[in-house]
Amino acid sequence: MPDARSPIRRHLVLYRRNREQGRARFFSLMIERDLFGTIRLVRNWGPVGSKGQEKVDIFPTEAGAARALEGWAKTQRQKGFTDL
């Protein structure tokens, strides 16, 4: 159960290594509440060791954000990413 004081509700990090190219990539998903109570799904991805790219989606409910997080996680796992 998440800490009620923390703005982070759920965090998932996925990882994929391409041995042929010698590259490793990450895909991070995080559900958080901002100071105004807005529920946000933050996606961050890119090569390991870099800041990567970030995209934020706003949701009316935490359950909707959780469904979106699971959808993104499923898609990335099908692409070869594994949980870190």
Return the number of other C-beta atoms located less than 10 Å from residue 50's C-beta: 10
Q: Which residue has the higher pLDDT, 6 or 41?
A: 41
Range of the domain at 18: 6-30
Q: Tell me the pLDDT band of 1, cut-offs 50, 70 and 90.
A: very low
Q: Assess if residue 15 is contained within a domain.
A: yes
Judged against a pLDDT cut of 90, whether residue 47 lies above it is answered with yes
Are the C-beta atoms of 50 and 28 separated by less than 8 Å?
A: no
Tokens of 66: 């959780």
pTM: 0.85
Locate tokens 């990567």: which residue? 52
- What DSSP character marks residue 61? S
**Domains in the chain: how many in total?**
1
**Is residue 48 in some structural domain?**
no
Residue 68 domain-assigned?
no
Q: How confident is the model at residue 6 (pLDDT cuts 50, 70, 90)?
A: low
Contact at 8 Å (CB) between 25 and 16?
yes
pLDDT in tens, 49-73: 999 999 999 999 999 999 999 999 9
- What is d(CA 63, CA 46) in angstroms, rounded to the nearest whole number? 26
pLDDT tens per residue, range 17-38: 988 888 999 999 999 998 898 9
